[in-house]
Chains A and B, each alone.
Chain A
Amino acid sequence: MSEPILSIRGLTKTYRGGTRALDAVDLDIHAGEIFALLGPNGAGKTTLIGAVCGLVRPSGGTITAFGHDLARDWRRARARIGLVPQELATDMFETVWRAVAYSQGLFGKPYDPARLEEILKGLSLWDKKDAQIRALSGGMKRRVLIAKALAHEPELLFLDEPTAGVDVELRKGMWDQIAALKQRGVTIILTTHYIEEAELMADRVGIIEGGRIRMVDEKRAMMERLGTTEAVIDLAAPLGEIPPALAGFALELSQAGTRLTYRGGNGEGRGRAEVAQLAQALTRAGIAFTSLDIHDSSLEDIFVGLLGKQAQEAA
């Protein structure tokens, strides 16, 4: 794998009052990937982004971006990083055009109307370029923040809850825009509460909880490793116990012997194959069933399961 463009080592942040928001975080981000950082509220996602983007002063550890140590050579590193914050924080009385032009200049780029036009058209904001931001809808305001973050053409873009409070249709539009950014070679780190979003877009997923990175893996590998298939089979007649012919399957009998539940496999289809074999075994054994419902675990199931397991371990 290529050299990481962002390398975080032993990053710690303890706020005044003693809250440890980040606890020895190690993380590498590679060029061109979409990395989804998942975690419950208060897990440390925004603090981690803030530490990289200069909003939070780390208590310890190092952050290296594009080969520059952020503590010493922050100017060069920050010039290549963009941030779309979680809050809709922008000067509401400014026009869209001026707000985005300001961001371009603030990051030291020459005024480039052609580039601004391209960004605004790409985000369907061109018609609103002369409108005051306060007059825009919530979704449009969020797109203005994205436009501002793109004005200096960052190579690494942080999207902190980019689709929070955005309706379903607009959210899909944003996914397209994020995919287009990736196509242009922008590396994206996104935090989201919509795990479906991470499942759909991310190349790699990191799970953070209690200020610690609990797991980082490629989405595919994570789902393969931790994914399961669940099949619920309603029987035509109750069984007293699981027959020996079905002993090779991970089964559970419930509902007074009228329901068989299979849990097993992985995220790569092994479970579905086993469910097919189970159906054949039931037929061979002369056990009739009235319905069969199969459900593959999503990233959300894995996420919830992982956090639940850790909570149990902690208790």
Chain B
Amino acid sequence: MHFNPRSAFAIYQREMSRAFRTAFQSILSPVLTTSLYFVVFGSVIGARMEPVGGVPYGAFIIPGLLMLTLLGETTSNASFGIYMPRFTGTIYELLSAPVGVAETLAGFVGAAATKGLILAAIILATARLFVDYEIAHPLLAMVYIMLVASSFALFGFVLGIWADSFEKLGIIPMLILTPLTFLGGTFYSIRDLPQPWDAIALANPIAFLVSGLRYAFYGVSDVPIAVSLGLTLGFLAVCTIIIAVIFRTGWRLRE
């Protein structure tokens, strides 16, 4: 398989440059939103809540809030990253270059993973201002964040190719990802839900992601970490295959 690292790095650099150019939207805006969550749920309400699974409530919600921001931002960023060149016509350069799906994904997804890590670091630093926490498995947390960021960057990439209007671009993150994250155990443990809601909640794939990150943070989870990791890897594989098919057929890319 051909792979030109220079092409991949050029795409990576450009995506990173775009993120820093729109730092307010990419970084400051989610930090502000997350800070408000911590103020309200972490400090004010959290101080009156019982610990969940032995974790103080303020700290308990950190992985969920991090996941909420990470999924939304990574998906939106990646979808805009490919939709805007399609919309403005600048995609001609990518399509006419000796660049295949491997370089394109390495550039876009690598940048998304980097941005995900930066975003997570900023959110965690912000959280530190409001609540105390210790990360039980920092390496696992880092790998998991990168994995989730990569998966949802791929998902965003598919979304950006599928969308033929700005409205469609916003529908999935706003109407599907955000509600699923809220209902996926961000603010509570799924185990604490009454039957049959605990079983129904597990039909929500985001619940597995939140649970996986919570395990990396505190060693407690609603579902085994292996299941969360497997699901994330499976999602990553499905998105990669879809994008490979899109590149092969030229669907919505080449006329």
Q: Are A108 and B254 in contact, CB atoms less than 8 angstroms apart?
A: no
Determine whether the beta carbon of B7 is less than 8 Å from that of A102: no
- Tell whether B93 is near chain A: CB-to-CB under 8 Å: yes
Chain A residues closer than 8 Å to B92, beta-carbon distance: 53, 55, 83, 85, 89
Contacting residues, chain B, for A50 (C-beta < 8 A): 255
Q: A55-B96, A75-B100, A83-B96 are in contact. Are A106 and B90 (CB under 8 A)?
A: no
With known contacts A89-B89, A89-B90, A105–B9 Cβ distance under 8 A: yes
- Chain B residues within CB distance 8 Å of chain A: 2, 4, 6-7, 9-11, 13-14, 17, 21, 88-90, 92-100, 250, 254-255
Instruction: Report the Cα distance A78→B254, complex, angstroms.
Output: 15
- Given the complex of chains A and B, what is the CA–CA distance between A91 and B14 in angstroms? 10
Asked whether, in the complex, the Cβ of A98 is within 8 Å of the Cβ of B17, the reply is yes
Contact with B along A13-27 (1 / 0, CB 8 A): 001000000000000
B88 in contact with A108 (CB, 8 Å):
no
Task: Report yes or no: B254 in contact with A107, Cβ–Cβ below 8 A.
Answer: no
- Judge whether B7 and A106 touch: CB under 8 Å: yes
Query: In the complex, what's the smallest C-beta–C-beta distance from B17 to chain A, in angstroms?
Result: 7
Q: A57, A76, A91, A103: which has the most chain B beta carbons within 10 Å?
A: A91
Bound Cα distance A195, B100 (Å): 37
Q: What residue in chain A is nearest B17 (Cβ atoms)?
A: A98
Q: Is the CB of B89 within 8 A of A78?
A: no
25 A–B contact pairs at CB < 8 A? Answer: A53-B92, A53-B96, A54-B254, A56-B254, A57-B250, A74-B98, A75-B98, A78-B98, A89-B90, A89-B92, A91-B88, A91-B90, A93-B21, A98-B17, A102-B13, A103-B93, A104-B10, A105-B7, A106-B10, A106-B11, A106-B94, A106-B99, A108-B6, A110-B6, A148-B93
Contact of A107 among B9, B95, B97 (CB under 8 A): B97
Q: Is the C-beta of A79 less than 8 angstroms from some C-beta in chain B? A: yes
Complex contact B13–A105 (CB within 8 A): yes
CB neighbours (8 Å) of B10 from chain A are: 102, 104-106
* Contact assessment for B89 and A108 in the assembled complex, using a CB-CB cutoff below 8 Å: no
Complex contact A54–B95 (CB within 8 A): yes
Check B96–A15 contact: CB distance below 8 A: no
Q: Considering only CB atoms and an 8 Å cut-off, how many residues of chain A contact the other chain?
A: 32
| Closest B residue by C-beta to A16 | B255
Bound complex: CA A15 to CA B254 (Å): 11
Residue A298 at the chain B interface, CB threshold 8 Å: no
Given A89-B92, A102-B14, A106-B7, 12 other A-B residues pairs in contact with their CB atoms under 8 A: A53-B96, A54-B95, A56-B255, A78-B96, A85-B89, A85-B92, A89-B90, A102-B10, A107-B7, A107-B98, A108-B4, A108-B6
Q: CA separation between A78 and B100, bound complex, in Å?
A: 11
Report whether A78 and B97 are in contact in the complex, using a CB–CB cutoff of 8 Å. yes
Q: Is A188 among interface residues, defined by CB-CB distance under 8 A? A: no
The answer to whether B255 and A15 touch across the interface, beta carbons within 8 angstroms, is: yes
Chain A contact residues, CB within 8 Å of chain B: 15, 50, 53-57, 74-76, 78-79, 81, 83, 85, 87, 89-91, 93-94, 98, 102-110, 148
Cβ–Cβ contact B100 & A90, under 8 A: no
Most B C-beta atoms less than 10 A away, residue of A55, A83, A85, A148: A55
- Which of B10, B21, B92 has the most chain A CB atoms closer than 10 A to its own CB? B92
Note all chain B residues with C-beta closer than 8 A to A75.
2, 98, 100
Taking the nearest CB of chain A, how far is it from the CB of B77, in angstroms?
Answer: 15
Known contacts A55-B95, A81-B96: A109-B254 contact under CB 8 Å: no
* A65 to B: closest C-beta gap in Å: 12
Please name the 9 residue pairs, one residue from A and one from B, whose CB atoms are nearest each other, closest first. Answer: A105-B10, A89-B89, A75-B98, A53-B96, A78-B98, A108-B4, A79-B98, A106-B10, A106-B97
Inter-chain CA distance A89–B93, complex, in Å, is 9
Residue on A with the closest CB to B255?
A: A56
Q: How far is the CA of A104 from the CA of B9 in the complex (A)?
A: 11
A108, B98: Cβ atoms under 8 Å? yes
B86 CB, min distance to chain A CBs, angstroms = 11
A106 to B94, CA, bound (A): 8
**In whole angstroms, how far apart are the Cα atoms of A104 and B95 in the complex?**
15
Residues of A within 8 A of B2 (CB): 75
